[in-house]
């Protein structure tokens, strides 16, 4: 079976490509390399550089490859950045998904596993968050994910598309050998970069309605998340119906608690400085995994915060300056 992975040079996408190839899938990668890295793509994957908004380019890939299913990771994904560049997010995320679905329809490809986000929930009052919780995104990134889900749902009803939207919570960690980690400015990579440099970590907001005043998030190991993608793919290709599923650890950890755990893992002091909270950040987001555990028999196996940090730290030490400037 040949799987197209769009956004397959990014952090989560490259880990998914690695797992697909390990399990014997023929794997094709499309990425524009704006936020992804060619170095992260498995050498056995067939790689095409291009943007999924370019319909003629995408059609040429489908013409060359006998694609049977798609994994969709191609999206801009920084909530704070989306508050400053909303149109970029709508163009890339929503516009790109529309073109992808059009091409899939043209080539009669029916199955897609899609990376959605817990940001579709916004500031939810009930924790843990269920898939039936109200959707109220508080930044353009979350809004684009909601729109992408809606687009797939209507395409499913109209044209028989079968999709699974996985609503990720906070993804971190790396491959066990210290490769395929996150290099962009997210909480755990930023903490570990500060540890390497013996610098202070900035925390935005200590006045949230949480026990220590900092945001609480649900952190999931990237390898657990990739396993959920493989199970979702198998579910669809075996005739399963469209679904929306949360994917998290089911446990909350505050930003301050993450820093404290990072101090233990890195054996670095990691001092903190507190800045005012940033618009677009929710106070608490923790997943209910009941549905995905029941439907796919998926369970997080590697998502304790210290294991996540240990694997991420191994990557950080190996690539202190990122893929292109490692020592």
> Catalytic amino acids?
141
Kindly list the distances between the CA atom of residue 39 and the CA atoms of 70, 105, 178, 268, 308, in Å, as whole numbers in the listed order: 22, 31, 14, 29, 22
| Alpha-carbon span 57 to 179, nearest angstrom | 30
Identify which of 222, 165, 220 has the alpha carbon closest to the alpha carbon of residue 15: 222
- C-beta separation of 239 from 150 below 8 A: no
State the virtual CA torsion across 35, 39, 40, 44 in degrees, nearest 10: 130
Residue 314 makes CB contacts below 8 A (sequence gap 6+) with 174, 176, 177, 178
- C-beta separation of 224 from 146 below 8 A: no
Crossing angle of helices 187-197 and 255-266, in 10° steps, is 40
- C-beta separation of 50 from 4 below 8 A: no
């Amino acid at each position: 079976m040949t799987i197209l992975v769009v956004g397959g040079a990014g952090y989560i996408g490259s880990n998914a490509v690695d797992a697909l190839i390990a399990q014997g899938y023929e794997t094709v990668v499309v990425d524009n390399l704006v936020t992804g890295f060619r170095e992260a793509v498995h050498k056995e994957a067939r790689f095409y550089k291009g943007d999924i908004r370019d319909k003629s380019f995408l059609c040429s890939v489908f013409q060359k490859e006998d694609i049977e299913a798609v994994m969709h990771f191609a999206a801009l994904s920084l909530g704070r950045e989306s508050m400053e560049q909303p149109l970029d997010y709508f163009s890339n995320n929503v516009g790109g998904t529309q073109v992808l679905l059009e091409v899939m329809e043209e080539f009669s490809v029916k199955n897609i596993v899609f990376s959605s986000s817990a940001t579709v929930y916004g500031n939810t009052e009930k924790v843990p968050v269920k898939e039936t919780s109200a959707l109220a995104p508080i930044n353009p990134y979350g809004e684009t994910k909601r729109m992408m889900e809606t687009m797939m749902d209507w395409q499913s009803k109209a044209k028989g598309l079968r999709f699974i939207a996985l609503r990720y919570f906070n993804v971190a960690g790396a491959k066990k050998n210290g490769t395929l980690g996150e290099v962009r400015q997210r909480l755990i990579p930023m903490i570990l970069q500060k540890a390497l440099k013996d610098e202070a970590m900035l925390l935005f907001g200590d006045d949230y309605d949480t026990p220590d005043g900092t945001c609480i998030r649900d952190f999931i190991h990237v390898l657990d998340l990739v396993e959920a993608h493989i199970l979702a793919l198998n579910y669809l290709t075996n005739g399963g119906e469209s679904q929306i599923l949360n994917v998290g650890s089911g446990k909350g950890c505050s930003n301050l608690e993450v820093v404290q755990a990072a101090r233990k893992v890195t054996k670095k002091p990691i001092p903190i400085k507190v800045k005012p909270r940033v618009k677009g950040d929710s106070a608490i987001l923790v997943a209910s995994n009941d549905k995905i555990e029941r439907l796919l028999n998926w369970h997080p196996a590697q998502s304790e915060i210290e294991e996540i940090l240990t694997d991420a730290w191994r990557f950080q030490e190996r690539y202190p300056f990122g893929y292109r400037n490692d020592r």
